[in-house]
Chains A and B, each alone.
Chain A
């Protein structure tokens, strides 16, 4: 069974850092592009970032560019999102997703990040 399990969320102060993880199982992780998508409380979905199959290429939404870094460890079947200089507007549930918008699209259940003093 395909599973994506996010972790690492929590409460952090403005200006702080957090590293999210997404543990993948049930499929060949190294064959898929992976994405992060977030959803602020009671708001819509926002694409955050994506990485290619070996982590050599990545792209970011303008709102997080220069502050967030996506990476992956194919040996450990894990996707990461390093989030620095966090702002209140970064408060959201963060989802990892496989093959976003493709026929093998799968999402995790999300991890909540709260940026507040």
Chain B
């Protein structure tokens, strides 16, 4: 149950795009299409932004998109806005009803 690998930080200017990677193994990310992404602002509970790799829950803007190739999933935030500045965590189903989170990526809007 090792944490999924994410870059510690990413940044972009308003209006630009930023992409965050999430690398696991064939036992988690690569083995299932159950990768999700959470956004967390300081002092707040995480908010689900994408589930099942690329599906958006109700209310999440279409600026947030996801994809997966092999053992690596990605989250892209297009048209960056100030309110997108937050920590982002990927998570994946890891079999046997277990889940694993990524180490988190701090997104800064320049």
Contact = CB atoms under 8 A, between A and B. Distances in A.
Interface of A: 35, 37, 44-47, 50, 57, 59, 61-63, 95, 100-103, 105, 107-110
Interface in B65-105: 89, 91, 93, 96-104
B91 A45 contact: yes
Given A44-B104, A45-B38, A101 B48 contact: yes
A39 to B, nearest CB: 9
A95 B45 contact: yes
Contacts of B101: 37, 44-47
Interface residues of B, number: 26
Which of A35, A50, A103, A110: most chain B CB closer than 10 A?
A103
Interface of A is mostly: loop
Interface of B: 1, 3, 34, 36, 38, 40, 45-48, 51, 55, 57-58, 89, 91, 93, 96-104
B51 A101 contact: yes
B93 A101 contact: yes
Contacts of A100: 91, 99
Contact of B34 (A47, A101, A105, A108): A101
B97 A107 contact: no
Contacts of A47: 91, 98-101
Nearest to B93: A101
Nearest to A104: B57
A58 to B, nearest CB: 8
Contact of B51 (A62, A105, A109): A105
Contact of A45 (B1, B46, B57): B46
A110 B44 CA distance: 9
Contact of B103 (A44, A59, A109): A44
